[in-house]
C-alpha cells in the first residue's frame, strides 16, 4: 500500500514538473525555429556598361515554417538594361550580401558578415536582353549568438533582364535555430527540481518517524 502511494506521489510530482516546464517554454515555442535575416547588398557588373545594378540598402526576411523569400521591397537589388545595345552583351556580376542579422555567422561574434556570390552575364538573343546566371546560387551559413544557434541557406535565383526594363534579384531562404533558454524558464525549472527534492526528503523523514 505504501509502495502504491509512493508511486502515485512520484507520478504527481513528475507531471507537475513537466507542466511547469511546458508553461515556461510555451510562450516562444511557436517561433523557436524561426531565423530572421537582415542586411544590405552591393554589386559590380564587369564588361557590360549597358547593365547597371542598384543594391538594396535594407532587406529583411524570416524563415517562418522553415522557409521564406526575399523579393519586392526585400529583394537583393535590381538591374536595369539600357535600350538598343549595339552588340551582344557578355560579362560577369559580383553580388555582395552583408548580413546584419543573424549575428555570429560562422560561429564568430561579429555583428556583420559579407557573402560574395559571382554570376555570369550572357546575351539572350531570342528575347533581346541578358541572362544572369549565378554559379553557386546556394550559400549555407551557421551562426551562434546570445539568442541561440542555428543554420540557414540562401538560394539566389537566376534572372532575365529585358532591354529597356529592370529586374530584381530574388532569393529563397530556409533555416532554423535553437534558442537559449530564458532566465525565467531556467528559474522555473530550478524551482521545480528544488521542490521535488524537498518533497522527497520530507517523505523519507516521515517514513523513518513512522518506524
**Omega before 102 cis (within 30°)?**
yes
Which residues form the domain of 90?
Answer: 33-179
pLDDT band at residue 191 under the 50/70/90 scheme: low
Asked whether 36 and 152 are in contact (CB, 8 A), the reply is no
DSSP per-residue letters across the chain: -HHHHHHHHHHHHHHHHHHHHHHHHHTTGGGTT--EEEEEEEEEEES-TTEEEE--S-EEEE-GGGEEEE-GGGSS-EEEE-S--SS---EEEEEEEEEEESSSBTTS--S-EEEEEEEEEEEETTTTEEEEEESS-EEEEEEEETTEEEEEEEEEPPEEEETT-EEE--EEEEEEEEEPPPHHHHHHHHHHHHHHHHHHHHHHHHHHHH-
Domain count, the chain: 2
76 shares a domain with 152: yes
100 shares a domain with 128: yes
160 shares a domain with 73: yes
142 shares a domain with 63: yes
More confident residue, 185 or 145: 145
146 shares a domain with 160: yes
pLDDT, residue 23, reads: 44
136 shares a domain with 40: yes
167 shares a domain with 70: yes
Say yes or no to pLDDT of 141 above 90.
Answer: yes
pTM for the model stands at 0.73
193 shares a domain with 89: no
Dmax (CA) for the chain in angstroms is 104
120 shares a domain with 160: yes
89 shares a domain with 159: yes
> pLDDT tens digits, residue range 91-118?
999 999 999 999 999 877 788 999 999 9
156 shares a domain with 99: yes
Determine phi and psi for 151, rounding to 5 degrees: -140, 155
Order of strands across the sheet with 78-81?
Answer: 51-54, 78-81, 166-168
44 shares a domain with 135: yes
Say yes or no to pLDDT of 90 above 50.
Answer: yes
Handedness of CA 18, 24, 26, 29 (dihedral sign): negative
Say yes or no to pLDDT of 83 above 90.
Answer: no
More confident residue, 102 or 15: 102
> pLDDT tens digits, residue range 69-82?
999 999 999 999 99
pLDDT, residue 185, reads: 46
pLDDT, residue 37, reads: 97
The contacts of residue 49 (CB under 8 Å, 6+ apart) are none
Q: Return left, alpha or beta for 70; rule: phi > 0 is left, psi -120 to 50 is alpha, else beta.
A: beta
Amino acid at each position: 500500500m505504501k509502495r502504491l502511494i509512493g508511486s502515485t506521489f512520484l507520478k504527481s510530482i513528475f507531471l507537475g514538473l513537466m507542466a511547469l516546464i511546458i508553461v515556461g517554454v510555451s510562450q516562444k515555442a511557436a517561433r523557436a525555429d524561426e531565423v530572421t535575416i537582415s542586411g544590405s547588398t552591393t554589386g559590380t557588373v564587369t564588361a557590360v556598361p549597358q547593365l547597371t545594378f542598384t543594391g538594396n540598402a535594407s532587406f529583411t526576411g524570416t524563415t517562418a515554417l522553415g522557409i521564406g523569400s526575399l523579393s519586392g521591397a526585400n529583394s537583393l537589388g535590381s538591374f536595369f538594361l539600357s535600350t538598343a545595345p549595339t552588340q551582344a552583351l557578355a560579362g560577369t556580376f559580383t553580388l555582395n550580401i552583408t548580413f546584419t542579422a543573424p549575428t555570429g555567422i560562422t560561429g564568430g561574434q561579429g555583428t556583420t558578415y559579407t557573402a560574395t556570390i559571382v554570376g555570369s552575364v550572357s546575351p539572350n538573343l531570342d528575347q533581346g536582353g541578358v541572362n544572369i546566371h549565378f554559379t553557386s546560387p546556394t550559400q549555407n551559413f551557421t551562426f551562434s549568438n546570445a539568442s541561440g544557434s542555428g543554420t540557414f541557406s540562401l538560394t539566389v535565383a537566376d534572372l532575365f533582364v529585358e532591354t529597356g526594363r529592370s529586374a530584381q534579384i530574388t532569393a529563397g531562404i530556409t533555416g532554423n535555430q535553437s534558442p537559449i533558454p530564458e532566465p525565467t524558464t531556467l528559474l522555473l525549472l530550478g524551482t521545480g527540481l528544488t521542490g521535488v527534492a524537498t518533497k522527497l526528503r520530507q517523505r523519507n523523514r516521515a517514513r523513518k518517524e513512522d518506524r
